[in-house]
Amino acid sequence: MDLIAQAAIKLERAGYAIALTGAGISTDSNIPDYRGPHGVWTLDPKAEERAYEAYRVFVQDPKRYWSQGYGKHILLEQFMQARPNRGHEALARLEGEGYVKATITQNIDGLHRKAGTRNLIEYHGNAQRLRCLGCGSRYDLFDEELPTCKKCGSIMKSDIVNFGEPIPPDVLRESVEEVMSCDLMIICGTSAVVYPFASLPSLLKERKGSNSFIIEINLSPTQLTKDGITDLFIQGATSEVLTDLCRSLSIIF
């Protein structure tokens, strides 16, 4: 039996399956990486410096954060114009057909939302949204030089979780709840090296052990594969593998 068929059987038999996604699922939507040969920060080191400064600047001077452009991600326009690829669409269909109950993503590009995924946790935020650090409210971007929360009046920051910024408490709580509810996890296009997101697969194995199953879809093996956290490794592009998985489950789109 081939690997796709094995994954399909596991998904059909799962009581509660969730997906974890990373940058690899957005590659086919022409979203560049950051540190690769043609990465955003490789080509523009100053942009990386600003990314590391952003949260400190907001805490010290929210007005400066907005007036000097820290609140606008360097790829914002590209995110807004990008379209979901077959990988995003496949996960949305798997959710719509009841196979996948939730998706937790590292990505800030908003493509899972565009594809129609409903039960979505954006672990590192969304570049096209705003978040209030006072009351936790979130809004789609709106055109104000100094955006303030409509509920409590605090100056808001970009919803992106910047370097040095803690993961929002509601995101942490909801992510752990989903992991503790699941018995099958599909990991799509993430090397799982950025913490605390990278701890979610290990958390599942520590709490549920043999009563859980992890399917990993990546272009190459990761530490999860090498450490035996992954139970079934499928090598390939996420958009292609997820499309094949849908076909194996007789989901056509």
Q: What is the DSSP string of 228-253?
A: T--SEEEES-HHHHHHHHHHHTT---
Q: Do residues 225 and 233 make contact, with C-beta atoms less than 8 angstroms apart?
A: yes
CA distance 124 to 162: 8
* Cα diameter, the chain: 59
Question: How are beta strands 157-158 and 129-131 bridged, if at all?
Answer: antiparallel
Provide CB contacts within 8 A for 49, sequence distance 6+.
Answer: none
Residue 44 CB contacts under 8 Å (≥ 6 apart), including other chains: 74
205 contacts 212 by C-beta, under 8 angstroms: yes
* Reduced 3-state DSSP string for 121-140: EECCCCCCEEECCCCCCEEE
Does residue 38 have an active-site annotation? no
Catalytic choice (73, 88, 112, 124): 124
Q: Which residues are catalytic?
A: 124
